[in-house]
C-alpha cells in the first residue's frame, strides 16, 4: 500500500482550508469580511490558506 505525495499534500491542504474557514466563521468580523475570506480560501486553496495565515482575521489575545 503506497500513498502518493500529491494525495497526502491535497489532504493536508483540505484540512487546513476547513480549519481556516471554521476560524473565519467563528471570528467577530463583519459578514462581508467573512464572505471575502471564505471565497478566497475556497477558490484559491493554497494561496487563500497562506493569505489567511498571514493576514486573516485575528482575535485579540487578552493577557
pLDDT per position as a tens digit, 2-59: 656 678 888 999 999 999 999 999 988 899 999 999 999 999 999 999 999 998 877 6
Residue 63 lies in a domain: no
Name which of 32, 52, 57, 28 is nearest 40 in CA terms.
52
Residue 60 lies in a domain: no
Q: Give the relative orientation of helices 5-26 and 31-43 as an angle to the nearest 10 degrees.
A: 180
Supply the pLDDT for residue 14. Answer: 93
Supply the pLDDT for residue 56. Answer: 83
Between the alpha carbon of residue 17 and those of residues 6, 22, 53, 55, the distances in Å are 16, 9, 10, 15
Number of structural domains the chain divides into: 1
pLDDT at 1 over 60: no
Residue 33 lies in a domain: yes
Give percent helix, percent strand, percent coil of the chain, each to the nearest 5.
75, 0, 25
Q: How far apart are CA 27 and CA 20, in angstroms?
A: 11
Amino acid at each position: 500500500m503506497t500513498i502518493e505525495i500529491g494525495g497526502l499534500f491535497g489532504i493536508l491542504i483540505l484540512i487546513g482550508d476547513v480549519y481556516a474557514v471554521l476560524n473565519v466563521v467563528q471570528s467577530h468580523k463583519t459578514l462581508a469580511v467573512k464572505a471575502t475570506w471564505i471565497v478566497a480560501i475556497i477558490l484559491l486553496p493554497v494561496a487563500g490558506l497562506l493569505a489567511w495565515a498571514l493576514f486573516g482575521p485575528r482575535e485579540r489575545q487578552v493577557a
